[in-house]
Amino acid sequence: MLVVRDLGKSFAGPRPRTVFAGVDLDLARGEYVAVMGESGIGKSTLLNLVAGLENADGGSIRLDGVELTTLDDDALTILRRGHLGFVFQAFHVLPYLTVRQNVALPLSLLRNVGTEAQSRVTVMLAAVGLGERGDSMPSELSGGELQRVAIARALVHAPRLVLADEPTGNLDPESAGQVLGLLREQIKANNAAGILVTHSQVAAGTCDRILQLTASGLREIAPHRQTP
């Protein structure tokens, strides 16, 4: 489903720097991989490139056969809207929307606001254990709960690919464990593919494969995990 070939990225400026080069990645639907690497190696940049939020210097990114590197900003935005889901370290739940409205946001952007959409939101909220908190405001929730909202929002529109950037960086170990389990469970349940960027071996251990990002590319450091 996601095929990345010979991807490279460098930053210009007074001190130009090549972040990485020669990155190859194949990801099938239902597959969940972790990307690890030292700080500053470009893990988040790799996610941004896959999401079409930054431009690569060279190489190819194909999502279900569509070459992302040739698309313009609007096309990439529309693609992101329909097919990608995001989970961030800082949750990024909009403080002025209720939990339900936050989760429904991707559907709203897709103009999918009917009864079916409402049911889908309800299902997702129940799935992440927030079935009773739909009308709460984000300020009433704990960090772990906020990240659950973010996971529900990332998956509510059934994206093909979920990108999670250090989703447990702001959570205590117990909440982190719950969130990681939930993220994996939901990616699998929705038959999406997922990339988890993390520093944590424990977090990476919840994925099917663990990849190490270096300046010269990605290499697998742990074998396939048995898919539950």
Partner 1 sequence: MGHVKTSVWHAVFAGSLAQNKARSLLSVLAIALGVALGYAVQLVSAAAVNELGQGVQFLSGAADLQVRGPRGGFDESIYPQLARMPEIAVASPVVEVDARIADRNDVLKIIGIDAFRAAGVQPGLVAAPEDRLDLLRSDALFLSPAASRWLGIDAGASVNLQNALRVVALRVAGLAPAGGEQRFAVMDIAGVQTNFDRVGLITRVDLRVRAGVDVDNFRDRLQALLPAGLAVQRPEASVAASESLSRSYRVNMNVLALVALFTGALLVFSTQALAVVRRRAQLALLRVLGVTRRRLIFLLVAEGAAIGVAGSVLGLIGGFVLAEIAIRTVGLDFGAGYFRGLTPVLSPNLLALGLFFCLGVAAAMLGSFAPALEAARAAPARALKAGDQERAFDRLRPVWPALLTIIAGGVASLLPPVAHLPLFGYIAIALLLIGTLMLIPRITSMLLALAPIPQGAPARLALLQLRGAPGQAGVSLVAIVASVSLMVSMAIMVASFRSSLDAWLERVLPADVYVRANAAGDSAYLDTEVQGRIAALPGIRRAEFVREQQLLLDPYRPRIVLLAREGDAPTLARQLSLVSESLPAGVATEAGAPPPIWVNEAMVDLYDFRFGKVIELPLAGTPTPFTVAGVWRDYARSQGAVVVERARYIAFTGDRTATNAALWLAPGVDVGSISEAIVRGIPGGSRLDIAAPGEIRQLSLKAFDRTFAVTYALELAAVVIGLFGLSSSFGALVLSRRREFGLLRHLGMTRRQIGAMLAVEGVLVSGIGLMIGFCLGWVISIILIHVVNRQSFHWSMELFAPWTALAGSALLVLALSTLTAVAMGRQAMGQRAILAVKEDW
- The answer to the question of residue 42 lying near partner 1 (CB under 8 A) is no
- The answer to the question of residue 57 lying near partner 1 (CB under 8 A) is no
- The answer to the question of residue 84 lying near partner 1 (CB under 8 A) is yes
| Residue from 66, 94, 123, 215 in contact with partner 1 (CB under 8 A) | 94
**What tokens appear for 91 in the block?**
């949750």
Tally of CA atoms within 13 A in the half-sphere of 177 that contains its CB: 2
**What tokens appear for 109 in the block?**
């952007």
- The answer to the question of residue 73 lying near partner 1 (CB under 8 A) is yes
Cα–Cα distance for residue pair 210/213, rounded to 1 Å = 10
Using CB under 8 A, which residues numbered 177 to 206 contact partner 1? Answer: none
Closer to partner 1 by Cβ: residue 82 or 177: 82
Question: 125 vs 21, 104, 130, 136, 155, CA distance in Å?
Answer: 40, 10, 5, 12, 11
**What tokens appear for 188 in the block?**
């699998």
Least distance CB 29 / partner 1 (angstroms): 20
Written as one letter, the residue type at 74 is: D
- The answer to the question of residue 41 lying near partner 1 (CB under 8 A) is no
Strand, coil or helix: what is 83?
Answer: helix
Closer to partner 1 by Cβ: residue 86 or 210: 86
| Residue from 35, 51, 63, 161 in contact with partner 1 (CB under 8 A) | 51
- Asked whether the beta carbons of 221 and 36 are under 8 A apart, the reply is yes
Least distance CB 222 / partner 1 (angstroms): 27
Least distance CB 157 / partner 1 (angstroms): 9
Query: Which ranges constitute the DSSP H helices of the chain?
Result: 43-50, 73-83, 99-109, 115-127, 143-155, 173-189, 201-204
**111 Cβ neighbours under 8 A, 6+ residues apart:** none
| Residue from 10, 77, 118, 122 in contact with partner 1 (CB under 8 A) | 77
| Residue from 3, 21, 97, 222 in contact with partner 1 (CB under 8 A) | 97
Closer to partner 1 by Cβ: residue 28 or 96: 96
**What tokens appear for 128 in the block?**
């992440």
| Residue from 90, 122, 158, 214 in contact with partner 1 (CB under 8 A) | 90
Binding site for partner 1 (CB under 8 A): 44, 48, 51, 53-54, 73-74, 77-78, 80-82, 84, 86, 88-92, 94-97, 101, 105-106, 108-111, 113, 137-139, 153
